[in-house]
Amino acid sequence: MKKILTATLLVLCIAGYASAQKTYYCQTKIVNTVDGKTQTAYGKAWMKSPTVFRMEKTVNGKEMIIIGNGANLWLVDPSTKRGIHSIQPSSALHQLQAQKRIVGNDLDGFMKAGAHKVGKKTLDGKVCDIYQRKDARNGAVYTLWVQEGADKLTRREEVNATLRLTPPGGKKPQVHHIVSVTDIYDWKINSAMPNSLFTVPAGYNIQNAAPAPGQAPAK
C-alpha cells in the first residue's frame, strides 16, 4: 500500500511539474547603428522549454532558423533547404536548463553585472522597470526594460557606446559611435506549440557537424 501511495504521489508531482512548465512566444526587432549606418534584423522565437525552442531571424532578406530539441541543435537555411546538425555538450544543456527561457530572460545576469533600477516607464501600454549599468572600462551604457509581472519578460535592451578601436596593422585608432536597440514584443504565454516546430521539415539536406573533442558523433 505504501509503495502504491508513493508511486501515485510521484506521478502527481511529475504531472504538476509538466502543467507548470510555461511556453513562451515573442517577436524581436534589432536596430544596430554604427557611425550613422543602420542595419535592422527581425526575429521570432517559440520556447516550449529551456531546451526545446525555435528561433527565426531575418537580416537583409536572408532568413536563418535555429532549432533546439534537447541535446540536438540544428542551424538551417530555408532558401536552400540545407542545414547543420550538432549535439550540444552537457555543459551547454545545463546552462540552458538553469534558465526560464532562451530569449527575454536577462534581468538576473544584468543585475549580477552591476546594474541598478533607475525608474519605470510605459512601453506599448506595458509598465516596465528600467535597469541600467555603465561599463567602467569604456563608458558604454546598457539599459534594460523589464515588463512588470512574475515572468520578468525583457521588453527592450539598449546599448549606447563610443569606442576607440585600433585597426589591425598598427593603423591610427578610430572612434566609433554605436547604438543598439533590441525590442522584444508580442509576448504570448502558454500558447499552443506543435512538436513539428521543433524538428527539421522533411526534404532538407542536413549535414552532421564534427563533434567536439571527447564527444560522440551526431546521428
Given this model, what pLDDT does residue 18 score? Answer: 40
Given this model, what pLDDT does residue 9 score? Answer: 36
Q: Is the overall model pTM greater than 0.75, yes or no?
A: yes
Given this model, what pLDDT does residue 1 score? Answer: 45
Cα atoms in the Cβ-side hemisphere of radius 13 Å centred on 175: 2
Residue 7's pLDDT band (cuts 50, 70, 90): very low
**Percent of the chain as helix, strand, coil, to the nearest 5:** 15, 50, 35
- Is it the case that residue 6 has pLDDT exceeding 50? no
8 Å CB contact between 166 and 177: no
8 Å CB contact between 18 and 27: no
Residues in the chain: 219
Question: Nearest CA to 184 among 104, 96, 127?
Answer: 104
8 Å CB contact between 206 and 85: yes
For the chain, the average pLDDT equals 88
8 Å CB contact between 131 and 111: yes
| DSSP designation for 106 | -
| DSSP designation for 201 | P
Quote the CA–CA distance of 188 and 23 in Å, as a whole number.
Answer: 8
Quote the CA–CA distance of 163 and 174 in Å, as a whole number.
Answer: 8
pLDDT (tens digit, 9 = 90+) per residue, 178-205? 999 999 999 999 999 999 999 999 999 9
* Residue 31 grid coordinates: 536596430
Helices (H), 49-126: 90-97, 107-112
Residue 22: helix, strand or coil by DSSP? coil
Q: Does domain 20-208 have CATH number 2.50.20?
A: yes
pLDDT (tens digit, 9 = 90+) per residue, 72-127? 999 999 999 999 999 999 998 898 888 889 999 999 999 999 999 999 999 999 99
